[in-house]
Amino acid sequence: TQLLEQSPQFLSIQEGENLTVYCNSSSVFSSLQWYRQEPGEGPVLLVTVVTGGEVKKLKRLTFQFGDARKDSSLHITAAQPGDTGLYLCAGAESGYSTLTFGKGTMLLVSP
């Protein structure tokens, strides 16, 4: 069974601070996705990374896929209260749509 470990589990910061969330596994994934989920809603896809070493930027969010495709990180610059939510990473096995999810990082950004 492939497992994804996310850290930290909880993060409470002030508006304007930077932060990094990590997603680690001992297994190799063909692709890795990051989602954000708000209370009472389903996860919303932020980005998909497929190539080892790949870096993608989405406004103030920077996503990186490890060279060995076993780990990933999400960096947020100058966090805003609207960034508050549960951030989930999910890895896909090659050739399948099945996703293995990490347990998530709950981010709270206070004004």
Instruction: Indicate whether 72 belongs to the interface with another protein (CB under 8 A).
Output: no
Instruction: Indicate whether 100 belongs to the interface with another protein (CB under 8 A).
Output: yes
Instruction: Indicate whether 88 belongs to the interface with another protein (CB under 8 A).
Output: yes
Q: Where are the beta strands (DSSP E) in the chain?
A: 5-7, 10-14, 19-24, 31-37, 44-49, 55-58, 61-65, 71-76, 85-92, 99-101, 105-110
The terminus-to-terminus CA distance of the chain in angstroms comes to: 40
Instruction: Indicate whether 103 belongs to the interface with another protein (CB under 8 A).
Output: yes
Map the footprint of another protein across residues 37-66, applying CB under 8 A: 40-45, 48, 50
Whether 9 contacts 3, CB under 8 Å: no
Among 14, 26, 98, 110, binds another protein (CB under 8 A): 98
Instruction: Indicate whether 87 belongs to the interface with another protein (CB under 8 A).
Output: no
**Site stretch for another protein (CB under 8 A), options 14-22, 25-33, 62-70, 72-80:** 25-33
Q: Binders of another protein: how many residues, by CB under 8 A?
A: 26
Whether 104 contacts 92, CB under 8 Å: no
